[in-house]
Amino acid sequence: MLVATIAFYIFATVLIVSALLVVSARNPVHSVLFLILSFFNAAALFVLLGAEFLAMVLVVVYVGAVAVLFLFVVMMLDIDFTELRQGFLQYAPMGIIICIVFFAELAAVGAGWVVMPSAHTIAQHPTPTGVTNTEALGHIIYTDYVYVFQGAGMILLVAMIGAIVLTLRHREGVKRQSAWSQVGRTRAEAVELRKVRPGEGL
């Protein structure tokens, strides 16, 4: 128990410091690297809580895809971040208000656990005993919420197709590959025989 507590405070401290460095670093590449560090420490906290599936998803999806994509975009785009940071102070009041609301919500949740320690027993889907976290999530998703899960997948599929259709531009004079015409062509269309005389070229 002592080792888990020490590990929690270490990961939580590194997570908070790296999160602050994400928004305060002058170099945007450094901000993305600190963001990746934040994701890794958050995944470690999920592992300590016994939610290994969420930790794996956080590392694979956010670190392996989203954060790396941010890093490549920031490195490839020529953005004047100095100009973007000039109006940083004008958003400070709204940021302070959001922080106050956020910490008030955290305090309300903590106070609820203090007042009623048995709150976890009235959850709709309490953590079952004898199964792993991944297996428990699979049972819940593919039994009680299977239609919602399939509906969310369909919405994401339609959104992806819509994004592709909206960004697709057909320009004249650009050669495009036609797989249908390539597969359906005959030998006469693909091969042309020419008789070359000695000493003469095509």
More confident residue, 130 or 42: 42
Res 70 pLDDT > 90: no
Res 199 pLDDT > 90: no
Tokens for 105, please give them: 């919500």
Question: For residue 145, how many other CB atoms are within 10 A of its CB?
Answer: 13
More confident residue, 173 or 5: 5
Cα 113–Cα 116–Cα 121 angle in degrees, nearest 5: 90
Q: Tell me what the mean pLDDT of segment 185-195 comes to.
A: 81
What mean pLDDT, rounded, does the chain reach?
80
Backbone angles phi and psi of 151, in degrees to 5: -65, -40
pLDDT per residue as tens digits for the range 72-118: 777 776 666 666 666 667 777 887 888 899 888 888 877 776 767 66
- The predicted pLDDT at position 85 comes to 62
* Cα dihedral 27→29→32→36 (10° resolution): -120
Per DSSP, helices labelled H in the chain are 2-24, 28-48, 52-57, 68-76, 81-84, 92-115, 133-139, 146-167, 179-184, 187-190
158 band by pLDDT with thresholds 50, 70 and 90: very high
pTM, rounded to two decimals: 0.58
Whole-angstrom distance, CA of residue 66 vs CA of residue 81: 20
155 band by pLDDT with thresholds 50, 70 and 90: very high
| CATH-assigned architecture of domain 1-82 | Up-down Bundle (1.20)
Backbone angles phi and psi of 92, in degrees to 5: -60, -45
Whole-angstrom distance, CA of residue 48 vs CA of residue 131: 17
- The predicted pLDDT at position 14 comes to 92
Provide the residue ranges of all domains of the chain, joining segments of one domain with +.
1-82
Whole-angstrom distance, CA of residue 109 vs CA of residue 119: 11
Whole-angstrom distance, CA of residue 11 vs CA of residue 138: 28
